[in-house]
């Protein structure tokens, strides 16, 4: 196990070794940049007319291992700007020329050379470093993927080939990582979403705009009922807002400048400039502002699951992880300073209970502002809000870390990082403290002494984007959803048509059964497979759809007034009279 600094040096060195191997195999290539990334490295390369795919990895890796085996060193040297440009021009490295020209005038320009023990320079490259001194310090690595990448992230520039690799201190660590990646691939929500018939996309509808099938809609609705239930029990009340608004609403809130991807249009009837909503908080503020408010009414708690829209770049869209139509389990509280801690406490406890019920551990990130622009409100307000959030994290004994630069534009927040079955962290739930937006909208309430006060606004989503949460949830469960939210909970398989009358009795029990935890009035969802196919084929179909409970009904079952039950990891029999009670206990 190497420390992180040593791992980063090793991975950065491997990006140079990759480039050196590629240069030897493809002499006319030109190079962009080759940085270290999480778990590995990549290099952006222009192969010209040559086509490179993962089928070429074996020969590239062989060449890389040959370079490493020589015990080469990484030698740093400083050069003048003129020397750097001369090198780039002589070697036809046009991307390096651009990088050199963009360096500040007083920048120290450095190269790193791969040098053999006998002093031969195998490869030289413009780079700040750092690197390992000797190739013998390099651990285990593997090239894993080829992707396209626009030069400098500009879709109007050249498309380069990006080769990714991963690297670890030992072969055991690399093998464990590869194993997890293979498991992640098998759990990919895009793959499972298609196999389990949960959602689809249409080129006619547009990229990033998912369409949910009946099965996927059941899952969405149940997850929404689950998250809403926590806040309804805490006194939140449902509201409903439109999907468009006058752009002045977002100019006042500050979102107009914050979201350059705001989807705008001009009404052909009125000439009004309208926008499709990117957030719902400004609308909720106007419900609060619609009538005079008294301190006696506070806290006022609004809840709404609503869709918002962001005009994301096509290249950044991916399954349900990043979409243009985002369904948020949104809620907003308008309260006094004295009520903030109580509201936060309710939401923290709700988040902890919700994620424990779906088997995901929580970590907490306190998302604070940095010194950059793009935030609204004065520094004193921010300081007060950040101290308040940190104090509440301490009070509720939440283990946390601080993420500088992760704050929302209007205030700091608590971001709950859910840890899935593969140990990956996902930012899902969030509670945000906002002193700024109420002031921008002139919100006020009458205090006990009759004076006008500005309320504090708390934003909260317990699962965040339902689409993104579903992508995480599908991969976390590998599609084996808990019984209560499985789109199809039970499938009844008949051995032959002689048990049809007995199946009718089973259907009657299923129709009368419902679950009440973790949500109420959750009717059992089932289907009957009475096709002429063999029992083996029927079982195979049900398992492929990851049905939690499979009921196999044969003549002996009918005679004995029993049901044969197959769960994911157990099999057994239960008496017909106990079937309803048995279903209540399935997790």
* Torsion 275-280-282-287 (CA) sign: positive
What does each C-alpha distance from 267 to 247, 264, 307 come to in angstroms? Answer: 12, 10, 21
How much of the chain is in helix, strand and coil states, percent to nearest 5? Answer: 40, 30, 30
Question: Cα–Cα distance between 153 and 147 in angstroms, integer?
Answer: 13
Cβ(401)–Cβ(414) below 8 Å: no
Query: Is 328 noted as a catalytic residue in this protein?
Result: yes
Q: Which of helix, strand or coil describes residue 417?
A: strand
Cβ(533)–Cβ(183) below 8 Å: no
Beta strand segments in 137-234, E: 140-150, 159-168, 199-200, 211-212
Query: Is 301 noted as a catalytic residue in this protein?
Result: no
| Burial classification of residue 101, based on how many CB atoms lie within 10 Å of its CB (0-12 exposed, 13-18 middle, 19 or more buried) | exposed
Query: Is 54 noted as a catalytic residue in this protein?
Result: no
Give the bridge partners for 551, in sequence order.
Answer: 492, 565
Residue with tokens 């298609």: 194
Q: Please identify which of the residues 73, 413, 453, 546 carries the catalytic annotation.
A: 413
Query: Is 220 noted as a catalytic residue in this protein?
Result: no
Q: Please identify which of the residues 76, 142, 251, 310 carries the catalytic annotation.
A: 310
Q: Please identify which of the residues 44, 46, 56, 330 carries the catalytic annotation.
A: 330
Query: Is 413 noted as a catalytic residue in this protein?
Result: yes
Cβ(415)–Cβ(403) below 8 Å: yes
Q: Please identify which of the residues 72, 127, 234, 281 carries the catalytic annotation.
A: 281
Identify the CA nearest to 568 among candidates 544, 533, 534.
544
Query: Is 152 noted as a catalytic residue in this protein?
Result: no
Q: What angle do CA 163, 164, 170 make, to 5 degrees?
A: 140
Q: Please identify which of the residues 332, 453, 538, 566 carries the catalytic annotation.
A: 332
Helical H runs in 188-280? 189-195, 214-232, 247-253, 255-258
Query: Is 541 noted as a catalytic residue in this protein?
Result: no
Query: Residue 421 is encoded by which pair of tokens?
Result: 């079955």
Question: Cα–Cα distance between 138 and 574 in angstroms, integer?
Answer: 59
Q: Please identify which of the residues 16, 96, 365, 459 carries the catalytic annotation.
A: 459
Cis peptide before 299 (omega within 30 of 0): yes
Q: Please identify which of the residues 93, 328, 386, 489 carries the catalytic annotation.
A: 328
* Residues forming the active site: 281, 310, 328, 330, 332, 413, 459
């Amino acid at each position: 196990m190497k420390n992180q600094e040593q791992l980063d040096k090793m991975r950065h060195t491997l990006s140079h070794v990759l480039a050196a191997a590629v240069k030897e195999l493809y002499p006319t290539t030109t190079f962009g940049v080759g940085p270290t990334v999480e778990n590995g490295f990549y290099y952006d390369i222009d192969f010209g007319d040559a086509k490179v795919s993962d089928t070429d990895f074996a020969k590239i890796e062989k060449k890389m291992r040959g370079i490493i085996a020589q015990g080469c060193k990484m030698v740093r040297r400083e050069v003048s700007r003129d020397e750097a440009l001369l090198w780039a021009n002589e070697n036809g490295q046009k991307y390096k020329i651009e990088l050199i020209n963009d360096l500040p005038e007083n920048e120290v320009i450095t190269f790193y050379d791969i040098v053999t023990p006998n002093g031969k320079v195998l490869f030289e490259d413009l780079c700040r470093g750092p690197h390992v001194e000797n190739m013998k310090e390099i651990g285990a690595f593997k090239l894993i993927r080829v992707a396209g990448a626009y030069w400098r992230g500009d879709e109007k520039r050249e498309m380069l080939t990006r080769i990714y690799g991963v690297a670890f201190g030992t072969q055991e660590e690399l093998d464990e990582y590869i194993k997890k990646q293979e498991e992640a691939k098998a759990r990919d929500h895009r793959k499972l979403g298609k196999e389990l018939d949960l959602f689809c996309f249409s080129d006619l509808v547009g990229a990033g705009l998912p369409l949910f099938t009946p099965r996927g809609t059941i899952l969405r609705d149940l997850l929404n009922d689950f998250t809403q239930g926590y806040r309804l029990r805490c006194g939140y009340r449902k509201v409903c807002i439109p999907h468009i608004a006058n752009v002045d609403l977002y100019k006042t809130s500050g979102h107009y400048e914050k979201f350059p991807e705001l989807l705008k249009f001009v009404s052909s009837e009125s000439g009004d400039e309208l926008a499709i909503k990117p957030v719902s908080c400004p609308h909720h503020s106007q419900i609060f502002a619609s009538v005079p408010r008294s301190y006696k009414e506070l806290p006022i708690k609004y809840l709404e699951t609503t869709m918002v829209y962001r005009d994301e770049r096509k290249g950044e869209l991916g399954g349900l992880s990043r979409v243009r139509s985002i369904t948020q389990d949104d809620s907003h509280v308008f309260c006094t300073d004295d009520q903030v801690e109580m509201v936060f406490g309710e939401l923290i406890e709700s988040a902890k209970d919700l994620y424990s019920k779906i088997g995901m551990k929580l970590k907490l990130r306190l998302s604070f502002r940095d010194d950059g622009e793009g935030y609204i409100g004065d520094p004193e307000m921010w300081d007060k809000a950040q101290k308040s959030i940190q104090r509440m994290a301490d009070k509720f004994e939440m283990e946390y870390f601080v993420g500088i630069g992760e704050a929302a534009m209007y205030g700091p927040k608590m971001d709950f990082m859910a840890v899935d079955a593969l140990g990956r962290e996902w930012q899902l739930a969030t509670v945000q403290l906002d002193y700024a937006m109420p002031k921008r909208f002139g919100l006020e309430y009458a205090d006990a002494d009759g004076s006008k006060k500005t309320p504090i606004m708390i934003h909260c989503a317990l699962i965040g984007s339902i689409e993104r949460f579903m992508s995480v949830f599908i991969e976390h469960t590998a599609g084996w959803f808990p019984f209560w939210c499985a789109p199809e909970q039970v499938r009844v398989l008949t051995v032959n048509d002689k048990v049809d009358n007995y199946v009718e009795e089973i259907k009657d029990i299923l129709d009368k059964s419902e679950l009440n935890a973790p949500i109420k009035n959750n009717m059992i969802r089932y289907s009957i497979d009475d096709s002429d196919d063999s029992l083996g084929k029927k079982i195979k179909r049900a398992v492929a759809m990851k049905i939690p409970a499979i009921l196999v009904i044969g003549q002996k079952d009918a005679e004995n007034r029993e049901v044969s039950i197959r769960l994911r990891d157990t099999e057994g029999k239960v008496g017909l009279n106990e079937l309803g009670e048995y279903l209540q206990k399935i997790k």
